[in-house]
Chains A and B, each alone.
Chain A
């Protein structure tokens, strides 16, 4: 949304743009301090406990969104020939560039979570891949420096601050999410350090990040296709996979004596 207001500034004599930039810097700073204050207030509570089960009160509308997303996906990615995990060198480079541009936002989130180690690693990764990796086209940080990307986002920051998962949501174009992750996505757009770039650069960065996501969709095409088009109930399947994987990302593995499922002792099966 900010892209629109920024584009409306006329660059003729420079001053409106500068003023706009200052105003943006102020509002960005204000947003950041609100977020930090919120973070400090919530940080004392520790991370939210691991959610379990499926909390989906919006299932009916979520299913409609799911059908919409599927039709978008099939229009964009389903060709007539059988799909393969075909990602050529261009797709691979695009995915690299896109994920490189996502690093500043991840560094910021790691800091907000009070986790300096991934912040430092992703910072080094960003500088190595932006320079030696020719603007992120290649990934020398991951291949030669053992610095794979540590993924994070503001949804995780909210989790670390103690915000519960909320209800399951399927978002148009985005796919599976939760109330907490949807809010996190919006905040990520607002606080992304790339927002400080010129409008043109920012638009280019945005396009490259979208391109990277599309390339990623192609890399995992077999699995994504098998879930979206091969499942008897693709909505239920993608909901389950998203929630399980997301909880794993946020809480780590957590099979305990209390919650472990043991099919040999399942009374429902006997």
Chain B
């Protein structure tokens, strides 16, 4: 596997990196049984389709709620909303009843689509290209570059798994900022504000974002 060096992070001593990759290679050689059901090609194909849809949405010329709705459909189609919701709720997910979990997931999906739909404006004019994919644990991380005119290109990583039963992405990392971590902080704070009451949190989520 080639070492992913970007020109902006030239490291003077990358002994650790080299050792790390060596160790990873050794582990891969020793553990042939830990095969991934998902393949590199499938992970890339999923993100390629998602990115194509994103590019279509951007070039559609739609703005405001119409664009957010397109984004919401992309999200529903390609993301594993269940696991994102469960992870955002954190340990509280264990205490939630199945009915509460279902209601929370539903409300969370709307919240996330509104929130990221609004932020999506910053990607208007951007073009995404796929750089590559690499296996991590039981999932794949697909690296894309977003190119915005007149700005330094920036990196968006999509983590893809098939453990929901279908190939879906479950996390997005934009320039190091991790959606799962960010949403866990946010939902945790919302739950604290309601003193741990999940039903009230669900009510709040319906209008948040």
**In the complex, are the beta carbons of A255 and B152 less than 8 A apart?**
no
Main secondary structure of the interface of B (DSSP, over half): mixed
In the complex, the chain B residue whose C-beta lies closest to that of A160 is B12
Q: Chain A residues near B171: list those with CB within 8 A.
A: 261, 263
**In the complex, are the beta carbons of B157 and A47 less than 8 A apart?**
no
**In the complex, are the beta carbons of A252 and B9 less than 8 A apart?**
yes
How many positions in chain A have a CB within 8 Å of any CB in the partner chain? 51
Chain B positions 167-183 with a Cβ under 8 Å from a chain A Cβ: 170-171, 173, 175-178, 180-182
Instruction: Write the nearest CB–CB distance from A145 to chain B, whole angstroms.
Output: 11
- Bound Cα distance A233, B189 (Å): 6
Name the contact of B12 in the complex, choosing from A47, A256, A260 (C-beta under 8 A).
A47
**In the complex, are the beta carbons of B122 and A222 less than 8 A apart?**
yes
Chain B positions 142-171 with a Cβ under 8 Å from a chain A Cβ: 143, 149-153, 155, 157, 159, 161, 163, 170-171
- Bound Cα distance A231, B90 (Å): 17
The proximity string for A residues 252-270 relative to B, scoring 1 for CB distances below 8 Å and 0 otherwise, is 1101110011111110111
- Bound Cα distance A223, B117 (Å): 11
**In the complex, are the beta carbons of B136 and A263 less than 8 A apart?**
no
- Bound Cα distance A270, B9 (Å): 38
Name the contact of A255 in the complex, choosing from B86, B141, B185 (C-beta under 8 A).
B141
Q: Does A114 contact B (CB under 8 A)?
A: yes
The proximity string for B residues 13-45 relative to A, scoring 1 for CB distances below 8 Å and 0 otherwise, is 100000010001001000000000000000000
**In the complex, are the beta carbons of A263 and B137 less than 8 A apart?**
no
Name the contact of A263 in the complex, choosing from B86, B94, B182, B190 (C-beta under 8 A).
B86
- Bound Cα distance A46, B93 (Å): 42
Instruction: Write the nearest CB–CB distance from A144 to chain B, whole angstroms.
Output: 10
Q: Chain B residues near A142: list those with CB within 8 A.
A: 150-152
In the complex, the chain B residue whose C-beta lies closest to that of A262 is B137
Q: Chain A residues near B185: list those with CB within 8 A.
A: 233, 236-237, 240
**In the complex, are the beta carbons of A262 and B139 less than 8 A apart?**
yes
**In the complex, are the beta carbons of A263 and B119 less than 8 A apart?**
no
Instruction: Write the nearest CB–CB distance from A244 to chain B, whole angstroms.
Output: 5
**In the complex, are the beta carbons of A237 and B153 less than 8 A apart?**
no
Residue from the set B11, B143, B176, B180 with the largest chain A CB neighbour count within 10 Å? B176
Q: Does A232 contact B (CB under 8 A)?
A: yes
Instruction: Write the nearest CB–CB distance from B43 to chain A, whole angstroms.
Output: 14
**In the complex, are the beta carbons of B94 and A269 less than 8 A apart?**
yes
Q: Does A153 contact B (CB under 8 A)?
A: no
**In the complex, are the beta carbons of B190 and A264 less than 8 A apart?**
no
Name the contact of B181 in the complex, choosing from A43, A244, A265 (C-beta under 8 A).
A244
- Bound Cα distance A102, B6 (Å): 22
**In the complex, are the beta carbons of A264 and B138 less than 8 A apart?**
yes
A46-B13, A117-B7, A262-B139 as given contacts; A253 in contact with B157, CB under 8 Å: yes
Q: What 4 additional pairs, Cβ within 8 angstroms, besides A231-B189, A257-B27?
A: A245-B177, A249-B175, A262-B139, A269-B91
Could you name 5 residue pairs across A and B whose Cβ atoms are closer than 8 Å? A226-B119, A232-B192, A240-B182, A253-B143, A256-B24
Give the A-binding residues of B (Cβ under 8 A): 4, 6-13, 20, 24, 27, 83-84, 86-87, 90-91, 93-94, 115, 118-119, 121-122, 136-139, 141, 143, 149-153, 155, 157, 159, 161, 163, 170-171, 173, 175-178, 180-182, 185-186, 189-190, 192-193, 208-209
Give the B-binding residues of A (Cβ under 8 A): 43, 46-47, 85, 114-115, 117-118, 139, 142-143, 148-151, 160, 220, 222-223, 226, 230-233, 236-237, 240-241, 244-253, 255-257, 260-266, 268-270
